[in-house]
Amino acid sequence: MPLHKKETSGIGVIDKVRPDASDPRANANNQSSDVLGERPSVHLNPQHQPSTIKLALTIGMPVYNGAATIGVALASLLAQTRGDFVVQISDNASTDTTEAICRQIAAEDPRVLYYRQPKNLGPVANFRHVLQVAKSPYFMWAAADDLWAPTFVEKCINFLDQNDDYIACQSKVLFVEDRRPSHLAVGTFAIAHDTAKQNVLGFLENPSDNSRYYGMFRTPVLQKSFPKAHFHALDWAVSARTLRHGKHAELPEVLMIRESSDISAYQKGVLTDHTFALFRFFPVLVMSGHLLLRGIAPLSRRSLYRLYQLNLFSHFLLSPYRSKHLAQHFFESGRLSTALLRWLRRKRASPTSTSEMGTEIGTCPTTGLAIYGSHGIEPYGDALLSWTNGHGCYVIEPSMTTNVRHAVVSLWPIAPGEGTEFSVMVNGHEILSDSVSKGDRPITFTLPLESGDNAQTIIEFLSSTFHSPGDARLLGVAIRSIKLVEADEGNP
């Protein structure tokens, strides 16, 4: 999240990204109606007086210059169906009208407690402040530009009350951009293994956007899990540390909305969080050492290898010496040697050749990486690929098909070792069904396209059997390229 929009706490490699949101059939669009809408109204209730009831929840809202959105965010919280909570606002010496807005709302609703820091503490210290003053059994952070469905608090508290072995609960989360549904978070998946070691490893497999960080926690667990030190990806460390004490749940509904941010915010954050060159070179190295030296991440081959992968990926994506192409290739292959070979192959390729590498036309929602090269498509006109978990969709509009007769599709298997099944649909009809494993040869096939003034071709890539929790590559295949081929003059 960008520092100029709201407070952050050393958020890790990928928090929010920007996919194409124009497809009305996208999963995110279909699940947003209960949360995204007009400004929620505030229903004041005499029972909600914090002095007369036992508080179940403290909502900590660290904020800096949040005047543009904090009023709507607070209205969303105060409209909750369960009201035995307080909202503890810690204003990090804002220079806009945040203070005036908060004081006015606090005067209208006694559940809102406003405190202005005499000087800017930095985002991490401000997050720590609202957590440490909490006295209630449950705690959650609330960003000043997020929204919550009216039942978010009630459903999370009910779940934790009924499941003592869980220490955190989060709903599915929808990311939006300019109030348009963008994509569902991949960092809220449930982690409920038999041992703490397995739980931590399950989290390290894919920390991703870590939207679980904004879920509801048992307060004592979260207070002792928040590090005293400050380093990049501190939120990853917090989530991992809490998993030593219990499980994380995911509610099946979308009950929370977060605003998308640009990946450049994290790249700037690396420079803010670290001054030592090595730590800027490997942005999550300190976080990795923190987990290993304190015994949070096990000293196992699997754990060390996963931290190695996270460090390389964050280096390629976020460091001052970053290369989005290397990050792209490393994400796809998981191997440094393969990523380097693909990168070198691209460097040697003719800059005018698109038969192999394609052209950059957007970003992948699950990684924040450019749709480019062996993870991309060859564009025709303004067409974009819409990508969500387990579902890729490419729409060919009539205006694009004046002289186009077919599409040549190339898929790159990125499924895990045990493989996954996937299918390809064209305008609702299945034309290919296959099973792939990571390392298989690329799959290439030709699709006939609809013709006519109103013809629209919708190519969908679906997976129904690969459901590894939280894995951003649920589809099992990367779109290597989709090339639209025009008819020859002698063969219309």
Q: Per residue in 97-156, pLDDT tens?
A: 999 999 999 999 999 999 999 999 999 999 999 999 999 999 999 999 999 999 999 999
387 vs 171: which has the higher pLDDT: 171
Distances (CA, A) of 468 to 169, 268, 307, 415, 465: 19, 32, 19, 10, 9
Q: Decide the pairing of beta strands 420-426 and 457-463.
A: antiparallel
pLDDT score of 284 more than 70: yes
pTM, two decimals, is: 0.66
pLDDT score of 385 more than 70: no
pLDDT score of 229 more than 70: yes
Q: Which two tokens stand for residue 38?
A: 């007009």
Distance separating alpha carbons of residues 35 and 450, to the nearest angstrom: 37
Contact 426, 447 (CB under 8 A): yes
pLDDT given at position 245: 97
Distance separating alpha carbons of residues 294 and 201, to the nearest angstrom: 15
Distance separating alpha carbons of residues 77 and 152, to the nearest angstrom: 9
pLDDT score of 39 more than 80: no
Q: Decide the pairing of beta strands 85-91 and 57-63.
A: parallel
Q: How confident is the model at residue 2 (pLDDT cuts 50, 70, 90)?
A: very low
Nearest of 236, 319, 330, 336 to residue 282 by alpha carbon? 319
Contacts of residue 104, defined as CB under 8 A and 6 or more positions apart, other chains included, come to none
Q: Which two tokens stand for residue 391?
A: 């579902």
Q: What DSSP state is assigned to residue 65?
A: S
Rg, the chain, Cα only = 24
pLDDT score of 244 more than 60: yes
Q: What percent of the chain has pLDDT over 70?
A: 62
Nearest of 31, 129, 40 to residue 77 by alpha carbon? 40
Nearest of 361, 364, 286, 279 to residue 329 by alpha carbon? 364
pLDDT score of 14 more than 50: no
Q: Which domains does the chain have, with CATH numbers?
A: 27-259 (3.90.550.10), 270-346 (no CATH), 353-486 (2.60.120)
pLDDT given at position 469: 37
Q: Decide the pairing of beta strands 166-177 and 85-91.
A: unpaired
Q: What DSSP state is assigned to residue 491?
A: B
